[in-house]
A and B are shown apart, each in its own frame.
Chain A
């Protein structure tokens, strides 16, 4: 029983982190699906979300609801701005140039926050009462509960948005074929902006949830979760939205089980090891379709 309880505990921790990774991975995968760009600056949207929340709560003392919505809106706007300024001019350039610009934007954001807030990690305010809920031998923290709830809710909303609404359909159309989408009267530019907005907003929520789980924020905090979320997106098949969710959960659970049973230092290696195994067996990710090459 004890063994089982420990396993379940690790599993729950994994789902907790995994749901955050999944939220962040959605931003990567949506942007990739639509403009085939690995948006390296997405990890820094996470960091911005955390810092904006910190400023709203600690500096401006805003009520908690406003303090949580404002950063999401700010990140959403930054996402649009970043795309307009840094990526849009390069849409017809070699893809690697846009990748380097994304890295440049990432460096820029990190260093602007570094200059403003300094290098030392700042404690993130406690928003959710961390007292655990007991379920038999299991202790589930309220944080875990709320995080998973919010993430799953957002994913369902996103799925509905993509499948049922007009802008959502436009997004799918542009990612399938931008030229044809334009001929059908879809405004490609605003659809791309919308994609960045949605992705960044999800990233901001992910960032806030991440800082609630690990309540120390620093200017470079977005790099590692960003990288892992990106790996999650690739694992599930990049550009595929359910793939990002699946990949996120797999990453989180694998990481947490490794930390619990093998070694916390090796967790990163195991995560990448899984990626290598999966890609060796399924070269376009778990849910990716293997496109046959035509001459």
Chain B
């Protein structure tokens, strides 16, 4: 049995095991509605962080407009699902995929001006696009404008979010370890050298940016059918920054780091709830402290690997291809 197959079996088994355990806990009421909501938000944040990590961590382009794509996905999915007649699960899937596609379409259009720029100019341009999307949504009739969009069907459940998250992480993991992924990473490492060896930087930048936007849109669709009320304020640039915090905290270009950081950042404010109105102060102090003591992110360049853990091997380092990872 080769090691890749073994690794896949271990990962698949553990994903299913975690799922079964969580569902059992929900069934017996150990995880109540409130905690289930947190689990769903965790999944959504993981999708957002992992997708932003592709654009910012692997491609190396700081983008601050991720919330804009999330907003496009959320509103599109919410509006579509209210107008289509399908059973619950296909309805959710169709509407979030369409929402993701629309977000990807806009990202594709934006990529033309965005990738003429570099560094912080690029960052601020994406921030500008994100804010424009928000203001346009605020001024549209179909989105409910400033009053918000309500009456969204409650289609998002723990199971759908869990599996969509797993699928997303798997897709990104596979992509990163494919030749396309290596092309994307090479652009981050040295754009000119990448171009010199024949990588079409324009193509790969647009591709990574569009794919990231697609998954931001999907996460938005899940978010819409979870919160059931959408307000353009949910998608301001602070939201984009929250996603960026997760990515940097987990480590740039570290997929499992993003997953871990997304879980922490989702739980942390809730854990601090006990401190009443001190919670946000403690949260920001913790954020500063984590950055000061771990500037490279929680996991830095190491990817968390379940197989590595089981076989007691040293965790794989830096740029060596990572054989495997646990998804949760």
Contacts and interface: CB of A to CB of B under 8 A. Distances in A.
Contacts of A283: 116-118, 121
A237 to B, nearest CB: 9
Interface stretch (B24-32, B164-172, B241-249): B241-249
B295 A94 contact: yes
Interface in B276-294: 277-278, 280-281, 283-285, 287-288, 291-292
Given A107-B280, A112-B281, A115-B278, A276 B245 contact: no
Chain B, interface size: which category?
Answer: 35 or more
Nearest to B249: A100
B137 to A, nearest CB: 10
B138 interface: yes
Contacts of B285: 104, 108
Nearest to B289: A104
B280 A114 contact: yes
B209 interface: no
Contact of A115 (B128, B129, B281, B287): B281
A2 interface: no
Contact of A101 (B129, B241, B292, B296): B292
Interface centre among B128, B138, B248 (most CB of A within 10 A): B128
Given A86-B292, A101-B291, A279 B135 contact: no
Contacts of B117: 279, 283
A100 B132 CA distance: 23
B128 A276 contact: yes
B166 to A, nearest CB: 27
A272 B281 contact: no
Contacts of B283: 107, 111
Interface in B252-279: 252, 277-278
Contacts of A231: 124, 128
Interface in A269-293: 269, 272-273, 275-276, 279-280, 283-285, 293
Interface of B is mostly: helix
B277 A115 contact: yes
A129 interface: no
Interface string B223-256: 0000000000000011001001100110010000
Nearest to A105: B288
Nearest to A233: B124
Contact of B128 (A107, A266, A272): A272
Contacts of B278: 115
A223 to B, nearest CB: 8
Nearest to B62: A96
Please report whether the interface of chain A is mostly helix, strand, loop or mixed according to DSSP.
Answer: helix
Interface in B66-80: none
A59 interface: no
A15 interface: no
B252 A90 contact: no
Contacts of B118: 283
B116 A96 contact: no
Nearest to A272: B128
A279 B115 CA distance: 11
B36 interface: no
A230 interface: yes
B113 interface: yes
A90 B135 contact: no
Contacts of B248: 96-97, 99-100
Contacts of A266: 135, 139
A112 B136 CA distance: 33
Contacts of B192: 293, 295
B132 A269 contact: yes
Given A272-B128, A283-B117, A97 B245 contact: no
B88 interface: no
B287 A107 contact: yes
A100 B128 contact: no
Contact of B296 (A94, A98, A276, A279): A94
A186 interface: no
Interface of B: 56, 62, 113, 116-118, 120-121, 123-125, 127-129, 131-132, 135-136, 138-139, 192, 237-238, 241, 244-245, 248-249, 252, 277-278, 280-281, 283-285, 287-288, 291-292, 295-296
Given A97-B291, A272-B128, A279-B121, 13 more contacts: A36-B120, A38-B120, A86-B288, A96-B252, A97-B248, A97-B296, A114-B280, A115-B277, A234-B121, A238-B121, A269-B131, A273-B128, A283-B121
8 contacts: A100-B248, A103-B287, A108-B281, A230-B124, A231-B128, A269-B135, A272-B128, A275-B128
Instruction: Sort A-B residue pairs by CB-CB distance and give the 4 closest, nearest first.
Output: A93-B295, A272-B128, A107-B284, A108-B284
